[in-house]
Structure 1
Amino acid sequence: MLITAINTVEIDAAQGRVGEVCSILPHIVRELLTNSECIGYAITDNRRAKNSWIVSGYWESESQMRAHFDHPQLAGFIDMLRAGMASRIKFNTFIINPAEEQRRVPHG
């Protein structure tokens, strides 16, 4: 299984809210793993910033990743921001091999 696309969410905890962010992130990731076609999801410490994490999703195709962006559990990240648990959230996507996606689409 090749990884063709990656999405990341960088989360910075608001001052005094680290414990809440630490408790909610695994729940969001479990839901995303259970209810999507991703190859895997991971939470890692952001070594460039204190009290910051990077959640990464790995995808076999760009189309699977893009369809995933409609998943209701992704709102959990925005809810952390609205509730004041996070001071910053940044979403990123990376396409590793766009030609791979094109090879999978049958030409008529």
Structure 2
Amino acid sequence: MHITAVNTLEIRSFEDVDPVFETRLQAFAASFVEVPGCLGYVMNRSRAEANLWILSGYWATTSDMTTHFSSTSMTALVNALIEARANLTFASFTPVLTDTPQDGV
């Protein structure tokens, strides 16, 4: 199966984070792998900035990715990050193929 959509969530904490913060992020990423259409979900911590993590999801279709954004588990993650006062930067990517109709276009 091919990756047709990717999402990233950059998480930056400006306060000291407790030791379980990263463990919680890893648990969310592991649970997202079970979402229908998810081809993989990973969490990476910056080597240069101790309080920077990036979650990346890889999707079979754009609609699978979009459905994930409004899921209970994604809402729980965002709420937890808001409570932790984290700065969030979100991005999603889908290819623009001239020969193939795109989801939602």
TM-score after normalising by structure 1? 0.77
Structure 2 residue runs of 5 or longer lacking an equivalent are none
Structure having the higher helix fraction is 1
Question: 1:13-24 residue pairs with structure 2 within 5 A?
Answer: 13-24=13-24
For 2:81 and 2:34, the matched residues in 1 are separated by 23
Q: What is the one-letter code of the residue matched to 1:12?
A: R
For 2:5 and 2:39, the matched residues in 1 are separated by 10
Calculate percent identity across the aligned residue pairs.
26
Shift of 1:38: 0.4
Residues 4 and 98 of structure 1 are in contact (CA less than 8 Å); yes or no, is this contact kept in structure 2? no
Structure 1 residue runs of 5 or longer lacking an equivalent are none
Shift of 1:74: 0.7
Residues 13 and 52 of structure 1 are in contact (CA less than 8 Å); yes or no, is this contact kept in structure 2? yes
Residues 37 and 61 of structure 2 are in contact (CA less than 8 Å); yes or no, is this contact kept in structure 1? no
State whether structure 2 residue 73 is matched by structure 1 residue 73: yes
Secondary structure of the residue that 1:41 maps to in structure 2? strand
Q: RMSD of aligned C-alpha atoms?
A: 2.4
Q: How many residues end up aligned between the 2 structures? A: 103
Residues 17 and 86 of structure 1 are in contact (CA less than 8 Å); yes or no, is this contact kept in structure 2? no
Secondary structure of the residue that 1:34 maps to in structure 2? coil
Identify if the C-alpha distance between structure 1 residues 16 and 95 changes in structure 2 by more than 3 Å, giving closer, same or farther.
same
Residues 4 and 101 of structure 1 are in contact (CA less than 8 Å); yes or no, is this contact kept in structure 2? no
Identify if the C-alpha distance between structure 1 residues 18 and 96 changes in structure 2 by more than 3 Å, giving closer, same or farther.
farther
TM-score after normalising by structure 2? 0.79
Shift of 1:57: 0.3
Identify if the C-alpha distance between structure 1 residues 52 and 60 changes in structure 2 by more than 3 Å, giving closer, same or farther.
same
1:25-76 Cα offsets, whole Å, 9 max, x none, are 0111122112332000011123564310110000111111112112111123
